[in-house]
Amino acid sequence: KLNPRLSRKFKVGRVATASKGLLMLFSGRSLFFTAFALCWRPHVEATCISRGIPPGDRRNSTIGDEAYPLGIVSANWDSSEIMSNIIKIVAEELIGVNSNVDTDPSYQTSRRVYGTLAGCTNPSGATLADRNCAGTNAYHVAPEVWDTAADVIDELGKSGSEIPIPYLVSKYPYLAKEAIYVWNKSYEPAYDSESLALTYFKTFNASWNDPQPYFSNIETDFDMSTPGDLFKCSSMDQLRDNTAVGNQTISEFLAAIDKFPVDPDSAIETDGSGTRKFKCHNDVWILGPSCSANPSTCVPIISGGAADDIWHFSPLVQKIFIYNLPLALGVAGSRSLYDTLPRDKKTLALWWSPDKTFIDMAPAEVVFPAFAANQWAVNLKISTPQRNAIGLYGHGELASKERVLAETLSAMTVKQYHLEGMLLDLNDRKLNSLPNATTYSVACDWINANEDAVRAWLPSEIKCAGGTGMKNAFGDYTSEAALATGCLWCSAGKFSEKIRITHGGSTFNTFVCTDCKPGYRTATGGRVECDSCDTGTFAGAPGSTACTLCPLGEYNPKKSQGACAMCPNLMTTATEGSENYVQCICPEEFYRPCINALNKSQIRPGCNCDPGRYANPGRDMCKPCPEAMTCLEGADELNTPCSAEDEQDGNYPRPNPKFYVEYAAPMSVFECNSAYSCPGHSIQNCVEAHYDIACGRCEDGWYQDSAGFCQGCGVLRQPIVPICVAVGLPIAMIVMYRGASQDVEKWGSPLNEMLGIVYVGLIYSQTVGQAMNIMPAVPPTLDGALGWTEGVSDISGLMRVECVAKMSYTGRYVLKLLMPVIGLVIMLVTYGVAYPTRFRLDKNIVFSMYLSGFNSLFISIMNLTLQLFQTYPHPNGEWSLNKDPAILESSMEWKGLVGFSALFIMMYCVSLATAMIYAIVKAPANFHRREFRLRWKFILMQMRPSAYWWATVNIIKAVFLAATTAVFYSPLNQTVWLGTGLLFYFLGVFQVLPWRSRTVLYLDVFMHYLLAACCLLMPFFIIGDDLSDDDIEMVATFFMVVVGVGFMWAFLSVIGLFQIASRGSQRIWVLYCSEQARNMVEAFQSLKDKELMSEILMDLPDVDYSICVEAMQILSVEMFGNRETRRLNWRKTGHISFNSKGERGPETADWF
């Protein structure tokens, strides 16, 4: 839509009324612009240049979709208006393009000027969408534009819009600045009389000098009435914090002086309502601390502005108080007073240049420290304000549509002293009220005085303007004048470079389009200089249109670079566009060590822990993440805490769940028994009650269960278990004594079968517990249902000695090893107490009872004796005990126990094996002796007489099972070892059929079959990483069912045993035996023919043959008493043996 101010902006001279009338007749953009073009008439002012183009020969500009006068956007200050009128005169009278200068106070902001040149209907909008840049535009040139809002152009360029982007036509050779100024009426007398340089801020220091005599007195020389020369402090919102602007100003001031020895109370006070405000003398002056005690010694400094926008207030008040200057800051009551007070009085004043207001007073800037960007960034404004570059900007199509004009403006050169001379001339004319006191007249007079220099701005065919460059006949860029035929707009990636050439007999400046050097770029065409690439970016090739972010693994700390620096070997960066070496980090699965890889004698700054804990870095800046640790991208050993007090959420190598590290060596990783006790993630991180290496020990009041978890002792803290053992063992001994005293004729009784079932069930439970010990992680289903079996395989752990007394591992281990000895002592004491009484116990029976219990728990005892060798490796190369990970094989405690453990292995394993071998060797010759049978009953009672030696196989099996975790570490190898042993045992049972009871035999066979099935399931728990949790849980359920079937079979065996022991079953058994006896008698009566028997045996299958032979051996012993068959016989003779008297029967005195 049409800008409502457009009609006013394009009124020209005396035709304004007619133009306005026509504008009111039409609506719509195209009708308006058509009417405007038809009704426009040349400027009717007198021609400035005598040889200039007359008004009738001028044309409208062709920039944009329509033809308009050249629109010149001017700010409403004199220097901008002078430069605008110079452009106007040159465009109209030297080039012949109608022009119009539009002066508006809103053009004081460079952001609005940029938007206006881009055709934005709301050029002051905060965003591109708010500015509504449609592209149709009647504004083409803007002189004296500050570059403080150049980001608007970049934003337009990056938007992808087709709107012509404004560009810098030429940069002025002077800067815009705001500063504190002093006038010659003060600084000249001060220097002449005292050599005081009032142009330097430190000269005003009251401790050294007294500059006040050269300035007006603030007490007597100013009108402080209402209204007077100055604003009243009480009327200015910026000085009180009950307004938004005041609160911001006071907060910013207090934050700035907080860094310096400035008393806030010297500047700020609080009134009765709690409002903070600046202290003001006579309600007009803010006094510096060095003159507040005597205001008449203060030097006045004048600023301007409004009640809520005092010019440059924060920088002024900060300088006064932080530098302790004897200044009194006042704000002129109006703009006219601001213009007259420094002229009528002797003051300092805030002023800017270029400007004419005080230019006739020989102004001199008071020098403060050079601009410090880092200070201003944090609102510390005690250095000189930043100087701003000023340039002439043009419409995006200026060079392409108005080449001659663009080239002329690009060559336009007005030096600072030229501009200051024109401003001084304008000021003199206004002070003297001359009729030609206009910016147009001043500009015209300057052009006439410098006409030859101004005409030199006009281009030849190859005198190209800024933003363009010479081209040849083929339309290609060229830098050779002899080949040049014209000018061409510089494309993106190039810039318009000024050169001086000789052509056609004259020497002049022109431009060539040159590729931007590496490290520079131009995103849009028509640029007179390339933009340098920022830090973190680069442009690798000449002619770049964009800067590229440094890729991962590279950084760039400097601007204008053609390449980024590589991070050291293996290092990368977190993001693209890194700006500094410190942004180089180690990639994921690596970490940066504290020891300098380039100089191993140096430790990097910030690594403050004990140097001995830091690992050797090798040759690279990054080390591979230690096994079982997680190193996120950027992990750094520097962030590793030295102690628990230093723990923070830093990025350093952290242990995975189930792994443990210590502060003393945070890269040395230990593996724990479970992820529950070792959550990982941080150093020395254990759950409640766990501590030490691998969280392997329990705190006082806790004991370690078979799974390695700490459990509360509760009532077990009292010596209940030892007392129960000490009291219960003698009682159990006495109760069991009666059954243990039964001789061989009772060994086939139901009680004996029951003991056999218990023994086989106990071995089965211990084997299941051993299998679960192999599992790296026991599924919850199994742990809840079968966790107790692990305790059965480690009976000594059930004693909970940790709950009785706090002791070291050595003490606990030795105490557990001595438990069989302690049990023996208790039984001997019981035997000794009963010996002199009528309850005297048979020593052979006591001996057998002890070894029977020892044999039943032999797997647990062997586990205990071999516990010192049941170890597993850690990622750091150390080895720990399975049962107490805090004990390392490299520790003195472990080495000190090795000999002790070997002693008990000899004592328990070798001694029992020796005793059993002795008994088995002696059994055939001594089995008929009652004391021998009762002494070694625990070996012989459960076995068939033909397999009396089978107890040694059980001992070998127990050693084999206990050695599983001592011989192998790998769970897979342990499983193969365990399965192999069970397989051989299973085959042996099939072959030998060792058990006296058929029930026990079947139970043993079936249970070992189930154990073999469990071994087949074990690999799923060991190498089942690819299985889902549901799959593992399903396998665990199947494992539990298989094991449970074994216990169910044992239970059914017990039930069946009770059934067999009933009177009815016994009567049936007697009848069955009688019937079979009759059958055997009938059969044996026919066995007198040797040849017939040989023929029968030869026709039998192998298995039947073996059965018959074994039956013959059994009958040979039982009937005739033969002893060559390796079958035990407790009778002195066979059932049908004859003595020398021809008497038959087993009880004869003499037997053969």
Q: What is the pLDDT of residues 168-198, one digit of tens each?
A: 888 888 888 899 999 999 999 999 999 999 9
pLDDT at 136: 61
Strand partners, 469: 488
Secondary structure of 576-623 in the HEC alphabet? CCECCHHHEECCCCEEECCECCCCCCCECCCCCCCHHHCCCCCCCCCE
Give the orientation angle of helix 439-449 with respect to helix 416-431, to 10 degrees.
Answer: 130
Give the orientation angle of helix 971-992 with respect to helix 750-774, to 10 degrees.
Answer: 160
Which of left, alpha, beta for 628 (phi over 0: left; psi -120 to 50: alpha)?
Answer: left
pLDDT at 21: 30
Count of CB atoms within 10 A of residue 97's CB? 23
The overall average pLDDT reported for the chain is 82
- Specify the residue for token string 């140097």: 611
pLDDT at 496: 92
**pLDDT-based confidence at residue 535 (cuts at 50, 70, 90):** very high
Q: CA separation (Å) from 1025 to 777, 784, 972, 1136? A: 11, 22, 14, 68
Spatial separation of the C-alpha atoms in residues 821 and 871, rounded to whole Å: 26
Strand partners, 584: 573
Instruction: Specify whether the CB–CB gap between 615 and 631 falls below 8 A.
Output: no
Largest Cα span, the chain: 177
Mean pLDDT of 1123-1129: 65
Spatial separation of the C-alpha atoms in residues 554 and 800, rounded to whole Å: 61
Q: What are phi and psi of 557, to 5 degrees?
A: -85, -5
pTM for this entry: 0.54
Which of left, alpha, beta for 993 (phi over 0: left; psi -120 to 50: alpha)?
Answer: left
Spatial separation of the C-alpha atoms in residues 227 and 371, rounded to whole Å: 37
Q: Is the pLDDT of residue 36 over 70?
A: no
Q: Is the pLDDT of residue 437 over 50?
A: yes
pLDDT at 1139: 52
Decide: helix, strand or coil at residue 924. Answer: helix
Burial tier of 839 (Cβ tally within 10 Å: 0-12, 13-18, 19+): exposed
Tens-place pLDDT, residues 475-534: 899 999 889 988 888 999 999 999 998 886 678 888 999 999 999 999 988 888 899 999
Tens-place pLDDT, residues 776-835: 667 777 777 777 776 666 666 666 777 777 778 888 888 888 888 888 888 888 888 888
pLDDT at 690: 92
- The percentage of the chain sitting over the pLDDT mark of 70, rounded to a whole number, equals 87
